[in-house]
Chain A
Amino acid sequence: MKISTYFNVFIRLNRRLTRYVNIRLTLSLLGLSLVTLTLTGCKNTGLKVGNFELGKLIDQGYKVVNANNIDESQEIQFGTNMSAVLLGTRPLVQNEAINRYVNQVGMWLALHSERPDLPWRFGVIDSTAINAFAAPGGYIFITSAMIKQFDNEAQLAAVLAHEIIHVTQQHHLNAIKDGALREAITASLFVSADAYQDNTGASSREQQYSAWAKTITGAAQDLYSKGLDRDDELQADQLGIRLLADAGYDAYAFVDNLQLLAAISADDSALALMYKTHPTPESRIEAMAGQLDTLDSDGMLLAERFKLIMK
């Protein structure tokens, strides 16, 4: 090999070495910058709420890598956030007696559920829409227009039982894990506004709060306007009617409700969201027909108590 050839090889090797050193140097500087950014960006690095390191919330795009790892406190906070959005749409009815009554009925049912120790909350939303909602962690809502259709406590309990099953079976968490909402999952869904504000280092707290509020509002809008999986709805019916019977109510009030809904025109705007997010009442009745014979038949309707509260 000629000397010039050796020289060329040496030059090429030298260039590669220089490039390698430059890349290493660049990466090191980048890493140093990221560490600096993180340290200066977070007030309380290392502080955790449940499984989340709050410092990471500075990254608005941070995804929950393992949504199966959400613990109960996070689940409850998620429900609190979703409930705030629902109640931002329409408030609770003013009548305290009705709200407290619905809590008594709901808590009695919840005591017979798989998760009696959740902090169960039940509320009557002042709305002309006929609907009911659940949020993770034990939040259940029914609209005043839906209660208005009922004649007895068992019918009210039937709706609450259906919603309680959504919570105990974690249907909303499943929806955000498996469905189209997966991309919307950010850690901010599972922390409170205070925790978020206290642990995100931002020049403007208001801006950070707005980002947090936008995330939870967007998730709630998606969740409640798209609805749950059809199978989850049918499961809530099947387990809900059993819960109703276990708590001592007349379980057939569940079918009463579905027949009542089926009789109201599907074109009625009061039912628009319910029809969009639930199977038709007829198909729900059909799905549970097989289990009706297996239910206890000595439950209570409690029409008088119901009417006394609602008059």
Chain B
Amino acid sequence: MDKCNLTLLAVSLLLMNGSTFAQDKERAGQLIQKTNLFEKADQHSGVLTQLSEKEQVTVKSRQRAWYFISQDEETKNIPLSGWVSMLSVRFLAQAKREGDLGFTDALSSMSKGSLPTVSTGVRGFDDNDLEKSHADFDQVERLNSFAVSKESAKQFALEGKLLSKSSRKGVAK
């Protein structure tokens, strides 16, 4: 392997290792109304207890429209866990995730002879940005180059085992 390839490999490993996409995490929430804690993700299952409005909970997972929650052992004599309607929960304020999307962004920056940098300014989309905008038809051309065919989208859905509603009804029959 020549020097150039070794460098590319090292850069790729570094960037993949530095992936900024966060994993699913437990989320802290609060009940927005008095709510039943169910044994299963089903309103016909047994009710374990009734929880009060504003109680703090930790949301561990979701199944359809239900959150599996638990309550902190420090705040409860008997720790509780079970299922509540997802509409009963409001998540506590959290910081948004930041960083560039996809490691090839960083690669493209490096190919221009500079190291990837952390952006501190808002490269955003607000009224001021819109006011300064000029129509960019080269970008529209680039957008067109990413278009996919219907057949390609159907293949993509098949690979993900996505079944349209009409197909699911057909299967049920």
Interface residues of A, Cβ cutoff 8 Å to B: 80-81, 83-100, 102-105, 107-108, 110-112, 116, 119-131, 139, 143-145, 147-149, 151, 153, 193, 213, 216-217, 220-221, 224-225, 245-250, 252, 255-256, 259-260, 262-265, 268-270, 272-273, 276, 282, 285, 289, 292-293, 296-298, 300, 302-303, 305, 307, 309-311
Q: Is the beta-carbon distance between B125 and A127 smaller than 8 angstroms?
A: yes
Q: Is the beta-carbon distance between B101 and A128 smaller than 8 angstroms?
A: no
From B91, B98, B125, B147, A103 is in contact (CB under 8 Å) with: B147
From A84, A96, A149, A298, B139 is in contact (CB under 8 Å) with: A84
Pairs A–B under 8 Å by Cβ, sample size 29? A80-B140, A84-B137, A95-B101, A97-B104, A103-B146, A104-B148, A104-B156, A107-B152, A108-B154, A119-B147, A123-B143, A125-B125, A126-B101, A126-B105, A127-B124, A128-B122, A128-B124, A129-B124, A129-B126, A130-B96, A148-B97, A151-B23, A247-B165, A259-B89, A265-B93, A273-B124, A276-B127, A302-B160, A311-B102
Cβ-closest chain B residue relative to A213: B135
Q: Is the beta-carbon distance between A252 and B65 smaller than 8 angstroms?
A: yes
Contacting residues, chain B, for A252 (C-beta < 8 A): 62, 64-65, 86
Q: Is the beta-carbon distance between A300 and B119 smaller than 8 angstroms?
A: no
Q: Is the beta-carbon distance between B87 and A255 smaller than 8 angstroms?
A: yes
Q: Is the beta-carbon distance between A263 and B94 smaller than 8 angstroms?
A: yes
From B27, B98, B147, A128 is in contact (CB under 8 Å) with: B98
From A121, A124, A128, B144 is in contact (CB under 8 Å) with: A121
In the assembled complex, the CB of B93 is this many whole angstroms from the nearest CB of chain A, namely 6
Interface residues of B, Cβ cutoff 8 Å to A: 16, 19, 21-24, 27, 62, 64-65, 86-87, 89-105, 108, 119, 122-127, 129-137, 139-140, 142-144, 146-150, 152-154, 156-157, 160-168
Q: Is the beta-carbon distance between A264 and B108 smaller than 8 angstroms?
A: no
Interface of A is mostly: helix
Contacting residues, chain A, for B140 (C-beta < 8 A): 80, 83-84, 87
| Beyond A88-B134, A119-B147, A216-B135, 5 additional pairs, beta carbon < 8 A | A87-B140, A98-B101, A128-B98, A129-B124, A282-B90
Q: Is the beta-carbon distance between B101 and A111 smaller than 8 angstroms?
A: no
Q: List 8 tightest A-B contacts by C-beta distance, closest first.
A: A87-B139, A107-B153, A263-B91, A84-B135, A129-B124, A129-B125, A248-B162, A95-B102
Q: Is the beta-carbon distance between B102 and A88 smaller than 8 angstroms?
A: no
A126 and B95 alpha carbons, distance in the complex (Å): 20
Cβ-closest chain A residue relative to B86: A255
Q: Is the beta-carbon distance between A221 and B153 smaller than 8 angstroms?
A: no
